[in-house]
Amino acid sequence: MVTIGALVLAVAHAQTSASASAPAPPQSAATTLVVRDWLVVAPTERRARRPFNPSAAFASLLLDAAAPLPKEGDPLAGENGRTQSWRKVAADANGTVAAEMNGAACAEVEWPADGVALADLDGATTLWVDGTPQVGDPYGDGMGGVPVAMKRGRNRIVVSGLRGGFKLALATPESELLVDPFDTTRPDVVVGDAELFAAILVVNASNRALGPIELEVIGATADAPFEASRETVAKNLGPRGLLKVAVALRPRAGHPAFAKPGTVEATLRVTAGALVRTATLHFDVKAVDALARHTRLSTVDGSVQEFALLPPAVGNADANAPAGATADALVLTLHGAGVDCVGQAAAYSRKKEFWICAPTNRRRFGFD
């Protein structure tokens, strides 16, 4: 949950920005801007988990869109009783800005044309562009940019939920339709699986609705490891929308790639009218008695969720069953923040009496 008290705001002037009266350069696929010169302020609120936190920075920069930006040395006071002052901070050579967790901020950035930019915010939870929020990458996983609406000229940018140092890069998208290669959900393929589910992120990097969104598993030839399929996954995807799409994969019967442990890939094609994007997903093939990552379709929202399963130790009586498959007890183990489900399950040794299952909480956040 994004809390107002977690705000860290930074007022930035891009190193390459032009004056308001100067002509804007033409927008192209090569347009990329890393914001380097910032104003930051130390925390003004007490740190706490609460749904609605007071925030002097939020009140001054987001509640009143017409309010002027702060200047270096301007004071800011909040509930912790300490008055802080805005100060200039320059990003390092990689574009990273040194800032305090729960500190606070905003930016005016020049952009060359009306349209959409991909905003890659590392080390913070939320990016606000002219008052409209979009998700950030608080753990700095490298998940890439998400679409934000930019106008020609000056755009006010606010960054909230900083976890310390952060970086903001803005780039023009190469296409209005994108398939995010980072944000995929991929199970292992266990020898003998008849069907499994993966998920990919489809991005509308435009200010218009796209659709219908169709997804195709390319497998027309006999040597393709997965059966071919095609389905409409959404009637449309709204402007700057993000859609995590479930993909049903059916291993081709008798294909040698599934006869023993190894790796296999599936090629996917996503279309929205005349727009076409492809993506290739790689999967590990595991033996039936191996620790493996599995997926399931949620009965709540139809999303693909993952869990790790460690089969019981060898030694049960049924020789025709996978190792330990006759065990009828289950250990359910819940991970903490940033712990992968496979790593959680691997922390246990095999038990003859138990299957060990480590479900994944929604995203990488731990069970509280």
Domains of the chain with bracketed CATH? 4-171 (no CATH), 175-287 (2.60.40.10), 291-368 (no CATH)
Asked whether the beta carbons of 126 and 103 are under 8 A apart, the reply is no
pLDDT on residue 151: 96
In 3-state terms, the chain is what percent helix, strand and coil (to 5)?
5, 45, 50
- Condensed to tens digits (0 to 9), the pLDDT of residues 114-131 reads 999 999 999 988 899 999
pLDDT of 257 > 80? The answer is yes
pLDDT on residue 315: 63
| Across 19-30, average pLDDT | 35
pLDDT of 205 > 90? The answer is yes
pLDDT of 232 > 90? The answer is yes
136 by DSSP, 3-state: which? Answer: coil
| Across 20-39, average pLDDT | 58
pLDDT of 177 > 50? The answer is yes
Determine the residue type at 278. T
- Condensed to tens digits (0 to 9), the pLDDT of residues 311-354 reads 998 765 444 545 445 688 999 999 888 789 999 999 999 999 99
Mean pLDDT of the residues in the chain: 85
pLDDT of 238 > 70? The answer is yes
Percentage above 70 pLDDT, the chain: 88
pLDDT on residue 22: 32
pLDDT of 267 > 70? The answer is yes
Q: Got the DSSP string for 242-261?
A: EEEEEEEE-BPTT-GGGSSS
For residue 266, give the nearest of 228, 304, 226 by alpha carbon: 226
**Which pair of tokens denotes residue 70?**
């702060």
CA distance 167 to 92: 10
Q: 0.85 exceeded by the pTM?
A: no
- Condensed to tens digits (0 to 9), the pLDDT of residues 62-90 reads 888 788 889 999 999 999 889 999 998 98
Our CA dihedral for 57, 58, 64, 66, rounded to 10 degrees, sits at 50
Peptide bond into 212 cis (omega under 30): yes
CA distance 118 to 127: 11
